[in-house]
Homo-oligomer: A and B are copies of this chain.
Amino acid sequence: MKKVGVAILGLGVVGGGTYKILTDNKEYFKKTQGLDITVEMALEKNVDRAVSLGLAKSQVASSIEEVVSNPNVDIVVEVIGGVEPAKTFVLKALMSGKTVVTSNKELFAKHWPELESEAKKMNAGLFFEASCVGGVPIIRTLQEGMQANKIQSIKGIINGTTNYILTKMANEGSSYEEALKEAQRLGYAEFNPTADVEGFDATYKLSILSSLAFNTKIAIENVHREGITGVSKEDIKYGKELGYTLKLLGIGKNTENGIEVRVHPTFVANDNPLASVNDSFNAVHIVGDSVGEIMLYGRGAGALPTGSAIVSDVIFAARHTNYHYTMFDNSAKGNKETKFVSDFTSQYFIRLSVQDSTGVLSKIAGVFAKHNVSIREVKQVAERDGKVPVVIITHISPESAVNKALEKIKLIDGVFSVDSVIRLES
C-alpha cells in the first residue's frame, strides 16, 4: 500500500480539523483509497496544543527547515493563513520538491503565479481547494468537472459571515449593527470583522475562482469591491416586499466587452436558487456554455468542512502524482491581454425620498428615459410626513447611465435624496 507522509503547518482551527480527519479516518482511507496516510509532523509554536490533539512532542517541529528536510514528508499542508510567514514556508516546501496543499486564499490571490512557477520548476504538486468555499469542491468542479465548458458567469455567496448577518437582518428585521453583534457572539464574525464585512475575503475567493473560470489571472485589484456595512434594514424590507433577497455576491462574468468581476451587496430574485441560501451557508452558481446552470451549496468554513477540502486535496495529490494544474504556462492565459469591463451593466434597485405629489414621479421617469434607463417596476412604499420612499427597479442598464440620471434626478424639485442604489440579479 502506498505510504503518504503529511506535515501540517499551523494547528489552528483548520489545522486541528485536518489532523482529526487524517487520524480518525486513517483505516477508512486505507480501504477506500488504498493510501496509508500518516501525519508525520506539525509546525506549531504551541506545543501543548499539538500534544492535546494527539501528536507526540517529537513530532512538533520548530522550524520549516525541520519539516522540509524530513524525507518521510511527501505533502505539506499550509493552514497558517495570511501572507507571511506562510509564503516563505510554502516556497521552501515547494523548493524541496514537496507537494503543497493550502487553504490560504490571501496568499493564493496575491502570489499564485510565483507559487505555481516554483511548483512547476520542482515538479511539485500545488493544490488549493480549501482556499475557496470551505468544504464545497468548487475548484475541483471547475478544474475537473466543467472543463468542457466556456464559462459565462460565476456568482456566489462566498462569505458565510456576511450571509449570516444578511439572513438575520432579513428574517428578524435587525439592523446591521445588531446582526453583526450576534454574529460575533456566536463566533461567525471576528472581533475585527473588516476582512469579512468589507468584502476582502470574498474578493480573494472571487479572484481565485474567476481566474479558474475564465482561464486568466484575475488580480484582486481587478475586482470591484463593496462591503455590507452600508446596508440598511429598510432596503432589505422593501426588497423583500418586491420579491428580492439581499446577498453579498461575488460576480464574475465573461462578456463580449471583457471580463467583469465584482463583490457587492446584490438583490437576488427569490426564484433564483441563490436567494434561499441562508445563514452561514455558501453557494456558487455557474453558467457554462454546454452544461447550462450549475449550483454547488454547502459549508464555506469551519474546522471539519475546510479540513474535508484539505484532505480531499491530500488524497487527490497522492493518487494523481505528477499531475499539475498549470494556469500560467500558456500564452493564452496570464492577464496581459485580458480586457476588463469598467462600466458594468446590471439591473438596479434605487430608493429615493420624494415629496408626495403626482408630478415628481413623472419627472423622475422622464430623466431615466432621457438616459435610456428603462424602468421595470416602481413602488411607492408608504406615506409619512409628505416624504414618500419610492423604490424603482430598472431593466439592465449601464451603470454610468444610471449614475448620470441620478445626478440629474437629485436636482429635481421634490426629490429629497437618493438613499440607496443596489445592483440586482434576477
Contact = CB atoms under 8 A, between A and B. Distances in A.
Contacts of A315: 147-148
Contact of A31 (B21, B294, B330): B330
A140 interface: yes
A421 interface: no
Interface stretch (A51-59, A302-310, A371-379): A302-310
Interface string A96-129: 0000000000000000000000000000000001
Interface in A280-335: 281, 288-299, 302, 304-305, 307-312, 315-316, 319-320, 323, 330, 332-333
A194 B383 CA distance: 58
A311 B145 contact: no
A308 B140 contact: no
A131 to B, nearest CB: 14
Given A135-B291, A273-B297, A292-B304, A141 B145 contact: yes
A363 B37 CA distance: 59
A146 interface: yes
A311 B137 contact: no
A146 B137 contact: yes
A141 B137 contact: yes
A332 B30 CA distance: 10
B144 A144 contact: yes
Interface residues of A, number: 56
A149 interface: yes
Contacts of A273: 276, 297
Nearest to A31: B332
Nearest to A27: B332
Given A147-B33, A215-B32, A294 B297 contact: yes
Nearest to A34: B330
B312 A144 contact: yes
A229 B408 CA distance: 61
A290 B305 contact: yes
